[in-house]
Amino acid sequence: TQSTRPQRLLSAVQKNATRGDPCSVVKAIDQFCRSKEWAMNVGDEKGCILDSVVSEVNPTTVLELGTYCGYSTVRIANLLPPHAKLITLEFNPDFAAIARQVIAWSGLEEKVQLVEGASGDLIPKMKEDFGVKTFDLVFLDHWKDRYLPDTKLMEACGLLRKGSILLADNVICPGTPDYLEYVRSSPRYESQYFKSHLEYTKVEDGLEKSVFLG
Ligand SMILES: O=C(NCCc1nnc(-c2ccc3[nH]cnc3c2)[nH]1)c1cc(-c2ccc(F)cc2)cc(O)c1O
Ligand SMILES: [Mg+2]
């Protein structure tokens, strides 16, 4: 049977990256996506912006929406202080299975909890089932039409506190117009656009960083 792109990406990690070395896992995926097959990881260019935001926030509790193969999961987890936790939600079981192996290869499984399921179902369970109070940082990188409803859901569930940071991928390509309009016009958010490019291409894309004001 034919392999899938996530399976080929995992093979490239297992072949080219050193077990327990997160940076080599990130490099191996970027090299695979630049030289062999494009894949929808946040990538190296936007990844540097992600790294700088994570380092600045220095979060204790992070939520990632949309794990895919675990590329941004590894980038974020690699920068977390000891005892910090990253919860990442993935809807697609095939993506989740690959991501678990990529995260394990990087040696960061202690810092990461990958949960399979729909964000709309899981977000309301964060407090009770996952012992979360509020999130210091949320990285939105899942279905683009879920960014806005899930942000409103996080507000409603009391998962955001004054100063919580939302960082959203793909606000230009594929685009999240309703989400952008919301965080840029709402008095409850202070937003900033980081212009970049769609991973591994010259197409414009960017990250939107929004501070929840409470
Ligand atoms: O669709 C994307 N990302 C989403 C995958 C995903 N992976 N997991 C989910 C999920 C969806 C519900 C969920 N509910 C709970 N977890 C969930 C996870 N969605 C995506 C697409 C592109 C892209 C750009 C240009 C093109 F020509 C084609 C494609 C670029 C990107 O950077 C992306 O992130
Ligand atoms: Mg993305």
The 10s digit of each residue's pLDDT in 161-209 is 999 999 999 999 999 999 999 999 999 999 999 999 999 999 999 999 9
Name the pTM for this structure: 0.98
- Nearest ligand, CA of residue 139? 2
52: CA distance to ligand 1 center in Å?
22
Residue 67, exposed/middle/buried by CB under 10 A (0-12, 13-18, 19+)?
A: buried
CB 167 within 8 A of CB 140: yes
State how far the Cα of 86 lies from the Cα of 10, in Å rounded to an integer. Answer: 21
- What pLDDT score was predicted for residue 1? 80
Q: Which two tokens stand for residue 86?
A: 């990253």
The per-residue pLDDT for range 3-30, each reduced to its tens digit, is 999 999 999 999 999 999 999 999 999 9
The per-residue pLDDT for range 40-63, each reduced to its tens digit, is 999 999 999 999 999 999 999 999
Q: What is the DSSP string of 111-140?
A: GEEEEES-HHHHGGGHHHHH--S-EEEEEE
Catalytic residues: 141, 144, 169-170, 199
Ligand 1 atom showing the smallest separation from residue 203 Cα? 25
191: CA distance to ligand 1 center in Å?
22
State how far the Cα of 50 lies from the Cα of 205, in Å rounded to an integer. Answer: 14
The finding on whether 139 has its CB within 6 A of some atom of ligand 1 is no
- Nearest ligand, CA of residue 96? 1
